[in-house]
């Protein structure tokens, strides 16, 4: 989500201008040469295994106040990520813990509220008493089959990976299988998860708050756009991908625009995108659309190669960028 740009130089106090540094326009000071770089903030997330389940806290403060999440927090300047994990775990759950292993590293360029890098640790209690503290109003252990849907994307992905590994450890055998998903049209209750997916698309990261509000409105009300989601069949279910089909009708023919396709990083290269596009292409046939377009200017090289494998050709459409 958009972040405020600084106005004055923190070194000399002069008004900042902009200049290109490292391939991007950045706030810079013409007086002393200072350049303002916006770097991700490091945070830690704690997957505390206890009594056969995992510890969640109910958040006391925004964002997502009143919802269950993994204990998490930001790393202080004078501590390591491991020290921050142990400290935050005790502050939020009352438990003294030790780290079992580094579980995952994820990033959230979409916020909220700022871009960050999340380091997740598997942990176990070695003392203390489970109770809410600091940023929590409740703390409790959830069994694998009763876990709620977590509001933060990185937390959802961590729980999904933990559940998969939990099954492997319980069965004492590795499981390497594609994601078990089904494709369906989006519902109003899917808005938060779909918006989180859309925020993963690099071209969407510079949208303003007003533009995001318009996206939410179109998602829920536009009859011209059909949004399909890929949802896991496990419990709790998780939306792991989405794709939008916009129908364009001319006087002599109709076409469809494929746009805003995204898959959670954990579920990429597991057939999710292919299943989404298969359903969307079948729907295009039902609507008697003669052509499907995809905006490859919003795609990276990996996505372009994926579309090429499906038969999409380049160079057949002229493009005018209005703004």
**Which residues are paired to 153 by β-bridges?**
none
Please, which residues have CB within 8 angstroms of residue 42's CB and are 6 or more apart in sequence? 74, 75, 81, 116, 117, 119
pLDDT at 316 over 80: no
List pLDDT tens digits, range 127-178.
999 999 878 999 999 998 888 888 888 998 899 888 877 655 555 434 334 4
The residues annotated with a catalytic role in the active site are: 138
181: three-class secondary structure by DSSP: strand
CA angle 314, 317, 319 (to 5 degrees): 115
Closest of 254, 255, 258 to residue 245, by C-alpha: 258
pLDDT at position 66: 93
CATH topology for the 1-38 domain: N-terminal domain of TfIIb (2.20.25)
Would you say the pTM of this structure is higher than 0.75?
no
List the CATH code of the domain at 181-309: 3.40.630.30
- State the maximum Cα–Cα separation within the chain, in Å, rounded to a whole number: 73
Do 147 and 236 form a contact (C-beta atoms < 8 A)? yes
Closest of 248, 233, 240, 243 to residue 278, by C-alpha: 243
List pLDDT tens digits, range 80-137.
999 999 999 999 999 999 999 999 998 887 776 778 899 999 999 999 999 998 789 9
Domain 46-171: state its class: alpha beta
Integer distance in angstroms from the first to the last C-alpha of the chain? 20
**Which residues are paired to 44 by β-bridges?**
73, 119
How high does pLDDT run on average in the chain? Answer: 85
Closest of 102, 104, 124 to residue 54, by C-alpha: 124
Written as six digits, the tokens of 71 are 């204990």
pLDDT at position 318: 54
pLDDT at position 133: 87
For residue 175, the tally of other CB atoms under 10 A from its CB is 9
**Which residues are paired to 56 by β-bridges?**
140
CA dist 238 and 13 (Å) reads 48
pLDDT at position 176: 38
pLDDT at 322 over 60: no
Written as six digits, the tokens of 144 are 């694998």
Domain boundaries, the chain: 1-38, 46-171, 181-309
Place of tokens 């438990």: 95
Do 138 and 58 form a contact (C-beta atoms < 8 A)? yes
pLDDT at position 157: 86
List pLDDT tens digits, range 15-73.
999 999 888 899 999 999 999 988 889 999 999 999 999 999 999 988 889 999 999 99
List pLDDT tens digits, range 206-249.
788 889 889 988 888 878 899 999 998 876 788 999 999 998 88
Ramachandran class of 15: left when φ > 0, alpha when ψ lies in -120 to 50, beta otherwise = beta
CA dist 246 and 255 (Å) reads 9
């Amino acid at each position: 989500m958009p972040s405020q740009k600084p106005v004055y130089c923190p070194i000399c106090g002069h008004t900042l201008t902009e200049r290109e540094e490292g391939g991007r326009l950045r706030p810079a000071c013409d007086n002393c040469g200072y350049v303002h770089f916006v770097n991700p903030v490091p945070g830690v997330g704690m997957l505390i295994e206890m009594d056969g389940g995992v510890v969640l806290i109910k958040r006391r403060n925004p964002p997502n106040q009143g919802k269950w999440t993994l204990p998490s927090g930001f790393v202080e300047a004078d501590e390591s990520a491991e020290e921050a994990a142990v400290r935050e775990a005790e502050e939020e759950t009352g438990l003294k813990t030790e780290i079992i292993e580094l579980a995952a590293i994820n990033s959230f360029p979409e916020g909220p509220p700022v871009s960050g890098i999340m380091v997740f640790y598997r942990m176990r209690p070695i003392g203390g008493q489970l109770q809410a503290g600091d940023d929590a109003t409740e703390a409790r252990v959830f069994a694998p089959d009763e876990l709620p849907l977590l509001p933060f994307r990185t937390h959802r992905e961590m729980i999904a990976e933990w559940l998969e590994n939990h099954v492997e450890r319980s069965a004492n055998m590795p499981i390497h299988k594609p994601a078990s998903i089904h494709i369906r049209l989006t519902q109003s209750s899917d808005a938060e998860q779909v918006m989180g997916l859309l925020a993963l698309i690099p071209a969407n990261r510079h949208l303003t708050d007003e533009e995001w509000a318009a996206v939410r409105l179109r998602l829920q009300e536009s009859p011209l756009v059909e949004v399909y989601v890929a949802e896991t069949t496990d419990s709790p279910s998780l939306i792991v991908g989405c794709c939008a089909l916009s129908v364009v009708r001319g006087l002599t023919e109709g076409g469809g625009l494929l746009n805003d396709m995204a898959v959670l990083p954990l579920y990429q290269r597991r057939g999710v995108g292919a299943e989404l596009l298969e359903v969307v292409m079948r729907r295009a046939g039902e609507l008697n659309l003669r052509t499907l377009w995809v905006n490859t200017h919003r795609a990276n090289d990996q996505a372009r190669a994926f579309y090429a494998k499906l038969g999409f050709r380049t160079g057949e459409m002229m493009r005018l960028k209005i703004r």
